[in-house]
Structure 1
């Protein structure tokens, strides 16, 4: 009954904000989990055919800005109003998705993604602020729990549907994202109520300057800075779920066994989301959010008995084990198990990050410290982009490894991909010259070039974060 009474206490603005968050995450993750495949996929599938280095530069830079810019966009929203900024964010979002869909050149796509991330940066601080404004000390805990549930529901539905839409065309993925944003425009126009704002008489410029002064103030605490630097390692490893995993599954993993297993239980669903007897990499990746929806309450109940830093270390260690399975196996079922283990580690570590920042912050500066907790997330995205670029390509990219093989054999192929000679053409012709089927060639490259070795780098980065956190806890914080 206590929970029911709390639920009844939330007003219309609270629920509207949560629904807006759900559709925004639907649009963003439906696009974002498919985006790396769109960037590097063969042009004859409607993708762009970029290199992994180009993909890493685009995604790393844009995503880093998405997490850094809210220090400015939040100040703007506080001054000119949440509703106006929401509508502006959705306009940028929709135009960005449209531009990415129609642009082809590297520079134009780079610009379009940066533009889209600016829209995300305007959106990001508003809804969390709305949840804070529409809850009390008694209702905030459940209120933010509902909010994070909406994040993961949207983060599951968007990619899950995107994976099915890829059977039709890449265009439909972008149309889906634009449509979800369109729903939010209607919700904002007709349902969203502007919250009250406290006008302290300062200008917008003064507000932005104060935000940067606050960052400087917190970063004078060298112990806190050391913690943030260590957490860059965690976010760099964590973000490979978005940057590298989909490409790895698409190039190396046969998901037929997963399709067949699902088809045996629920034929309609398998045929709806599957394509030619397989499950897309985007749909597979979406299972991370699905597992979070199912298990978050149980994991939270389990880790609440541990100190935040201890829970973080345990969670990151579990996440490292998930990365190991996700990037070292060719079995679709083991890949799913890896995603489950990864999600369990994420549930144990990521929420505790925010809790720990709040715990170590001086009582009078908690808001300042929480405001700077985005810095390692932004930096982690930038490092993740680099790791998923040339570094990943030279170890695990199927087309790069095939280029090495054909060079050793002395086969003659065009030096660059083009509209008339795509990545898929290269792979098909190479298989023919080697007297192999394409499946046999994939297995040959797997066995001889060991692309699965990438797991050691990704899991190793996560484990190093655990080691440094233990040293930090033991020798800097004294086990507090």
Structure 2
């Protein structure tokens, strides 16, 4: 049995802090996005929430789509460190541009963040995996700790950015998110020595070679990245087209993985890659339900949840603060989960990665049962108790701890090293697909102004359907997990 070491590489702390600040910027802006769009950009639309969900769905889908390309460019050209720096710069520009009040400038800001995230997100996650040797039992724990950095930033940002956005001005909140991004960039740049050279370009000499454009391959990537911002500025406004693009790319990526497994891999490696692809596909179910948080659950909290601390106090929290609940529970449960996985691994009792996925999907269903029940028992002329929203987020969080950090680690374990960045990008591509699907699901909660009782039941009915689907998929994944475990050939 592989010895379980106790300490983690020093580079993990660097990546923890850089990702914490980057997520501060992302979730600070996300907490305000649907509220801002519904209250300002689309206030005159017949159904402002539906319009807000469409933009939110396009934006979040594209944010998770671009890592597919950013991962490939890092694998083949830039290397992980340079890709992360480029992504951080683009995202910082986007957050500060968002501080200006103009609709088309707002879309341009979203485009900068979308492109920047494509270079930042998959590659900083891949660096975490590179810090550990193959078979190192600390890797899952390392990813859980890294995931806590994500959620520390995600916990603080809705409180800080949300308060400024809702009480001072929307664009003050967006501007503060930009400050967080600059802090993350500085942390990563000054801590690069602790990465031990494991994030450098795959071929530095090839990176410096000239291209037909008259610049090096490295600068060609930089110029192309900035030019692509204008493509995404247009695309973020085309929700239906985004859906089509995601379907085409998802099918294409599956075809690529199948071809690679057949032509480039021996049997064990091929079966491991197939398991990775299957679990990535099932992650769509989890994320499509989980990502109701920034769309339908945000508006549900605004319109139908009692946000006071009654009976302790009549003070009502800002709506955006509810976006911190998930991250709060990550911070509370992250270390216990990390310790639990290590303890179970020592006793050879740890659930397999596929079983963890099944458990995660099932738990998100429990969360929606809590939300449905809160809506179901709401007294007439009253609001849903805050406790039901809190419980919903709590079960979503325990499910997330079984899927997200485990999924990131799974990619680095099962994917061949030559295409780790691509498969990590594929993880985010299917998350993009899920976010787009989440916006479509959220649309079923909107409609005519029918009053509080009918309105809350419209949400409750959607929550019930989501819960039943989650239970069904969770059980199915758990049932096939022994087969998938065999195809992993000893990877845990």
TM-score (norm 2): 0.70
Contact 1:97 1:174 in 2 (8 A): yes
Give the direction of change, closer, same or farther, for the CA distance of 1:80–1:373 in structure 2 (3 Å limit).
Answer: closer
TM alignment of 1:275-424, pairs within 5 A? 277-302=315-340, 304=344, 305-326=350-371, 328-329=373-374, 330-354=384-408, 372-389=426-443, 391-393=444-446, 400-402=447-449, 405=450
2:39 corresponds, among 21, 41, 48, to 41
TM alignment of 1:160-171, pairs within 5 A? 160-165=159-164, 166-171=166-171
- 1:60 is displaced (CA, Å) by 2.2
Q: Residue 396 of structure 1 aligns with which residue?
A: none
> Does residue 73 of structure 1 match 2:73?
no
Question: What is the alpha-carbon distance in structure 2 between the residues aligned to residue 146 and residue 377 of structure 1?
Answer: 21
Give the direction of change, closer, same or farther, for the CA distance of 1:463–1:279 in structure 2 (3 Å limit).
Answer: same
**CA deviation digits over 1:170-196, x for unaligned, max 9?**
222112101112223433554444844
Contact 2:144 2:334 in 1 (8 A): no
The unaligned stretches of length 5 or more in structure 1 are 264-275, 394-399, 406-440
Q: Residue 116 of structure 1 aligns with which residue?
A: 113
Q: Secondary structure at the match of 1:183?
A: helix
> Does residue 249 of structure 1 match 2:301?
yes
TM alignment of 1:160-239, pairs within 5 A? 160-165=159-164, 166-188=166-188, 190-193=190-193, 195=197, 196-199=200-203, 215=257, 217=259, 224=275, 227-239=279-291
Give the direction of change, closer, same or farther, for the CA distance of 1:109–1:184 in structure 2 (3 Å limit).
Answer: same
Q: Secondary structure at the match of 2:168?
A: coil
Question: What is the alpha-carbon distance in structure 2 between the residues aligned to residue 33 and residue 359 of structure 1?
Answer: 33
Q: Residue 158 of structure 1 aligns with which residue?
A: 157
Give the direction of change, closer, same or farther, for the CA distance of 1:136–1:312 in structure 2 (3 Å limit).
Answer: closer
Question: What is the alpha-carbon distance in structure 2 between the residues aligned to residue 345 and residue 227 of structure 1?
Answer: 15
- 1:373 is displaced (CA, Å) by 3.1
Question: What is the alpha-carbon distance in structure 2 between the residues aligned to residue 359 and residue 313 of structure 1?
Answer: 19
* Structure 1 vs Structure 2 CA RMSD: 4.1
Question: What is the alpha-carbon distance in structure 2 between the residues aligned to residue 289 and residue 373 of structure 1?
Answer: 21
**Which moved further from structure 2: 281-290 or 357-366?**
357-366
Contact 2:66 2:118 in 1 (8 A): yes
> Does residue 54 of structure 1 match 2:55?
no
Q: Residue 96 of structure 2 aligns with which residue?
A: 98
**CA deviation digits over 1:114-150, x for unaligned, max 9?**
3311111121133224334444565645543432221
Contact 1:214 1:368 in 2 (8 A): no
Give the direction of change, closer, same or farther, for the CA distance of 1:386–1:188 in structure 2 (3 Å limit).
Answer: same
Give the direction of change, closer, same or farther, for the CA distance of 1:189–1:477 in structure 2 (3 Å limit).
Answer: closer
> Does residue 459 of structure 1 match 2:467?
yes
- 1:367 is displaced (CA, Å) by 7.4
TM alignment of 1:445-456, pairs within 5 A? 445-446=454-455, 450-456=458-464
**Which moved further from structure 2: 219-228 or 32-41?**
219-228
Q: Residue 240 of structure 2 aligns with which residue?
A: none
Q: Secondary structure at the match of 2:7?
A: helix
**CA deviation digits over 1:318-360, x for unaligned, max 9?**
2111122235521012221222122122223334445666777
- 1:277 is displaced (CA, Å) by 1.5
Question: What is the alpha-carbon distance in structure 2 between the residues aligned to residue 103 and residue 215 of structure 1?
Answer: 43
Q: Secondary structure at the match of 1:231?
A: helix
Q: Secondary structure at the match of 1:54?
A: helix
Contact 2:145 2:334 in 1 (8 A): no
Give the direction of change, closer, same or farther, for the CA distance of 1:191–1:313 in structure 2 (3 Å limit).
Answer: closer
> Does residue 130 of structure 1 match 2:127?
yes
The unaligned stretches of length 5 or more in structure 2 are 208-216, 225-251, 263-269, 345-349, 375-383
**CA deviation digits over 1:70-93, x for unaligned, max 9?**
232234346346565444323322
**Which moved further from structure 2: 348-357 or 288-297?**
348-357
Give the direction of change, closer, same or farther, for the CA distance of 1:55–1:298 in structure 2 (3 Å limit).
Answer: same
Contact 1:473 1:479 in 2 (8 A): no
- 1:202 is displaced (CA, Å) by 5.7
Question: What is the alpha-carbon distance in structure 1 between the residues aligned to residue 413 and residue 85 of structure 2?
Answer: 35
Contact 1:17 1:192 in 2 (8 A): no
Larger Rg computed on CA atoms: 1
Question: What is the alpha-carbon distance in structure 2 between the residues aligned to residue 126 and residue 231 of structure 1?
Answer: 19
Give the direction of change, closer, same or farther, for the CA distance of 1:307–1:172 in structure 2 (3 Å limit).
Answer: same
